[in-house]
Amino acid sequence: VAKMLQALLKDRFKLAFHIEKKESETYALVVGKQGAKLLPSPPDPPAVDPDAPLKPDEKFVGDGDHKARVTTNKDGSTTSSMGKRGTLTIGFNMETMSTHYAWSKISMEMLAGMLARCTGGGGHKVVDETGIKGEYQAAWDCPTGISAPKNQSGGDASDALPSDPAGGSVLAKSLDALGLKLEKRKVSMDIYVIDHVEKPSEN
C-alpha cells in the first residue's frame, strides 16, 4: 500500500523526496531489578447494559463495544466500567500535580502506550520490552508538567517529568511499585524529506 501511495503522489504531484536517518529519543518499559510485582486481573465486571437506569452520578460514554458506564466518585475521580475491558479509574492529585490511573485489566503493551502521555511535552514513544504476556492490574501516576501552587507541598512538576525516568519522579515511583521502570533509548528513524512538489493540474 505504501509503495502504491508513493507512486500515486509522484505521478499526481511530481513529488520527489529522499530519506535521511535521524536519531530520536524513546523510552523502553522494562522489568526492574527486583522483578515484576504485578497482580492478576480480577474477574470481568458485568457487561455494560445500555438499557439499565443511570444513577445521578453516572453516565454512558462511547458506543458499541467501546461503550462504558462512567461513575463520578466522591473524591472527584471517575471510574469507567467497560465489561471485558475491565475498569479504569482516573483522578487528579493536586499535591503532586499528577493524574492517577488505575486499570484493572491492562497488558504491558497497552501500558507502554499509555505511558507515552507521561513522558514530557513531546510525548516520547514508549515501547514494551518487559516480555510479560497477559493482562494485569496496574496503577500509575502521570505528571502533568504544571507547577503546583506555592501553598502545596508537591514542588515543581518539572522535577516530576521523566527526563531521568530512573529518578525520583512520581511516575518512576509508581512504576517501581509495579516492579517496572522506564529506560531512555536512542533509536534511528527514517525521515522523509520533500525535495520537490507541484500543484496538480485540474485535469
Grid cell listed for 86: 475491565
Q: Which residues pair with 192 in a beta bridge?
A: 19
Q: What is residue 32's predicted lDDT score, i.e. its pLDDT?
A: 94
The rounded distance, in Å, linking the Cα atoms of 74 and 19 is: 53
Residue 149 scores a pLDDT above 70: no
Residue 30 scores a pLDDT above 90: yes
pLDDT, greater one: 91 or 16: 91
Q: What is residue 135's predicted lDDT score, i.e. its pLDDT?
A: 96
The rounded distance, in Å, linking the Cα atoms of 67 and 125 is: 27
pLDDT, tens digit (0-9, with 9 covering 90-100), for 76-119: 999 999 888 999 999 998 888 899 999 999 999 999 999 988 87
Q: Calculate Rg over the CA atoms of the chain.
A: 22
Give me the count of residues in the chain. Answer: 203
pLDDT, greater one: 189 or 72: 72
